[in-house]
Amino acid sequence: MPEHTVDKSARRDPAGGGPFVDLGDGEYVSSRPSHRFPVYTRGNAGEVYPEVTTPLSYSLAFEAGEQAMRNAFIRTGLTRPGDFDEEDTAVTSGVFGGYAYLNLSFNRVIATRMPGGRAEDVDRAYMGAADPPPHDPHPDDRSLRASLRGLRYLWRTVRIHDLPELEGDVRRVEIFTESLVDPVTATDDELRDTLIGFSDFFAGLFETHLVISGQAGVAVAGLARHCEQKFGDPGLANQLLGGIGEVESAAPSTALWDLGRMVRDDPLLTAEFDAGVNGLLTRLDAAPGAEAFLTRFGDFLARYGSRGPNEWDTYFDTWETAPEMALALVDRMRTAEPDHEPALRSGELGGKRRELEARLGQRLRGPSRRLFHRLTTSSRVLSQGRERSKTTVIAAIHAVRLRALELDRRVTERSGGSPRDMWFVTVDELDDYLTNPLGFADLIAERRRVRDMLSALEPPFFFHGEIPPPREWVRRDRTTRLVAAGTELEGLPGCPGLARGRARVVTDPSDPGSLGPGDVLVAPITDPSWTPLFVPAEAVVVDVGAVMSHAVIVSRELGIPCVVSVTDATRTIPDGALIEVDGDKGTVRIIELP
């Protein structure tokens, strides 16, 4: 049992006290940074919350999320009682200028307390090839007692071979969603209570996800180190996690593949998709012969409709609330060649993985061999568990999203306001807003203005102490000098393999453009909504990312050459350029310009 816990009643807002801070051009939700742990990063956090959050999402999710992260860290045994002494600061994570950040300093300290751990282990896991601010040493960084407890944590992690607690969370979410009121027949008060009451339930699910994610990071890092020590190649760990199966963030790709084959094999469906995605669902509803596709698509939405860009934030649409996003993915999937079938690729990669594991295991003896097999097993099980626990959380969030959207629709209809105005008030303001929405019109307009301003800017990937004011951030639409033919860009290996293709720069997964056979997907960052775009591509290149990033996990599962942490790839690689992606070396070479 941990020797200390965080008292949930001790401070109302461990995410930072705020919630509003003057950013120099208006106020917006922001946490208060920690003095003890001053370095923050968008690494990893940017995959979960890529866009600017809203006041309602901040006040509902981030307090609960910070609490869950603190509890998850305590469960490792690697924290000290004084680690959380700062009042109302973002010790483990926070929101600054509307964007989510992970506290890199705190994670570095936890890493140094792990037996044999180093601060750079965290940098490699979360930032890839980025160059973060140096760590500020502190007398409390080291703790013998914490390290001894960490040794037990490490040993328990290495011995993991199944995760029965995940089944419990899956069942809890099923019970939770079944208990919710029907959004169509519910009263406004019932819908409001569902929204308000979700925080504690979310915190418990999120804590489980964080615990498993942390263990996955430890197991994979341990496997990489063991491969480096015994075989001289830490990159073997990536190959030992290829095609492991049951990676839930990759599962929608198989369903979308089947839908894409239906379209490809049916002239009527092909003609409708050729006419464009806009209005496609309406046209299919009226088209004779489209019934089978619509039934299968409805089944897809029932199972995977919770997924989509920014799926952790109830403000944003998912495949169920905006089906056109999913249809755009089907449209790209139908162009893929048969040898790109996800199950086929994953099966081939899984066979190679098993052969490699057997071959490497034969080179070891005694304790080294037993440790090798324990590390490969725990890394595989925990990597699968990380994605499954994420899916479980997302399912619960989506159930609340549907009810929040219904409440917002009703208020908008009565007041004449704009859709999703409700997300621009905090939870403390919500009751007053529901009573008198027009009284908040000016305040909401100002908060929307500031959010739009922030959305047009790219926040710093990391900062030390205080985040720079938004006026010093760069614009997302800035131009960057394009690279010349013959240039080789360096990144980090994501999934092994060598591939050539035309670069297709995609910045929004719901608008994949002309991405198709023979192309290489070049993306700024990826989350599960991007996964189906991996399937038709020959390879994937990502601006940011590290060993535990989504792009790496999914590319390993689908057997697609991948290079991450290629800084500014989406701004320097011209769309249409012929490029070569080397997933073994972690390089991208520009062969010819378009």
- DSSP H or E stretch at residue 261: helix 251-264
Listed in sequence order, the residues at least 6 apart from 302 whose beta carbon sits closer than 8 Å to its beta carbon are: none
Q: What is the pLDDT of residue 479?
A: 72
Give residue for tokens 């063991």: 226
- Ordered by start, the domain boundaries in the chain are 1-158+436-476, 165-414, 488-592
Output the 3-class SS for 64-107.
HHHHHHHHHHHHHCCCCHHHHCCCCCECCEEEECCEEEEEHHHH
C-alpha span between 82 and 60 (Å, rounded): 26
Hey, what are 562's tokens? Answer: 């991948």
Beta strands in 53-106 (DSSP E): 93-96, 99-103
CA 500 remoteness from chain centre: 27
Hey, what are 383's tokens? Answer: 């990597």
Give the burial class of 436: count Cβ atoms within 10 A of its Cβ; 0-12 exposed, 13-18 middle, 19 or more buried: exposed
CA atoms lying within 13 Å on the CB side of residue 146: 23
Residue 523's beta-bridge partner residues? Answer: 542
Hey, what are 277's tokens? Answer: 């995605």
Write the DSSP assignment of 23-45 as a string of letters: -SSSEEE-PPBPSSS-EEE-TTH
483 touches 573 (CB < 8 A) = yes
Q: Which of 546, 547, 544, 507 is nearest to 529 (CA)?
A: 507
Whole-number Cα distances in Å, 220 to 21, 208, 376, 378: 39, 18, 8, 8
Q: What is the pLDDT of residue 2?
A: 39
Hey, what are 503's tokens? Answer: 């670069």
572 touches 480 (CB < 8 A) = yes
Question: What value does the CA radius of gyration of the chain take, rounded to a whole number of Å?
Answer: 24
**SS3 (DSSP) at 20:** strand
- DSSP H or E stretch at residue 299: helix 291-304
Listed in sequence order, the residues at least 6 apart from 415 whose beta carbon sits closer than 8 Å to its beta carbon are: 421, 437, 438
- DSSP H or E stretch at residue 539: strand 539-542
Number of helices (H) and strands (E) in the chain: give both, helices first: 22, 16
**SS3 (DSSP) at 143:** coil
Measured at the alpha carbon of residue 140, what is the angle toward residues 136 and 144, in degrees to the nearest 5? 125
Query: For residue 142, how many other CB atoms are within 10 A of its CB?
Result: 13
Farthest-apart Cα atoms in the chain, separation: 73
378 touches 242 (CB < 8 A) = no
Domain 488-592 indexed as CATH 3.50.30.10: yes
Q: What is the pLDDT of residue 8?
A: 34
Q: What is the pLDDT of residue 137?
A: 87
Question: CA 529, 531, 534, 540: dihedral to nearest 10 degrees?
Answer: 80
Query: For residue 176, how many other CB atoms are within 10 A of its CB?
Result: 16
Hey, what are 513's tokens? Answer: 């453009």
C-alpha span between 589 and 490 (Å, rounded): 9
Residue 18's identity, in one-letter code, is G
C-alpha span between 209 and 217 (Å, rounded): 12
C-alpha span between 127 and 108 (Å, rounded): 12
C-alpha span between 79 and 161 (Å, rounded): 25
Hey, what are 499's tokens? Answer: 């591939």
Please provide residue 7's backbone torsions phi and psi, each rounded to the nearest 5 degrees.
-75, 115
Hey, what are 210's tokens? Answer: 């964080």
- Residue 523 per-residue DSSP state: E
378 touches 214 (CB < 8 A) = no
pLDDT tens for the 594 residues of the chain, in order: 334 333 333 333 444 445 899 999 999 999 999 999 999 999 888 888 999 999 999 998 888 898 999 999 999 999 998 999 988 899 999 999 999 999 999 999 999 998 887 787 788 776 666 678 888 888 999 999 999 999 999 999 999 999 988 888 999 999 999 999 999 999 999 999 999 999 999 999 999 999 999 999 889 989 998 999 999 998 899 889 988 888 888 889 999 999 999 999 999 999 999 999 999 999 999 999 999 999 999 999 999 999 998 999 999 999 999 999 999 999 999 999 999 999 888 888 899 999 999 999 999 999 999 999 999 999 999 999 998 999 999 999 999 999 999 999 999 999 999 999 999 999 999 999 999 999 999 999 999 999 999 999 999 999 999 999 999 999 988 777 788 899 999 998 888 899 999 999 999 888 898 898 899 999 998 887 888 899 999 999 999 887 778 888 888 888 899 999 998 899 999 999 999 999 989 999 999 998
324 touches 281 (CB < 8 A) = yes
- Residue 103 per-residue DSSP state: E
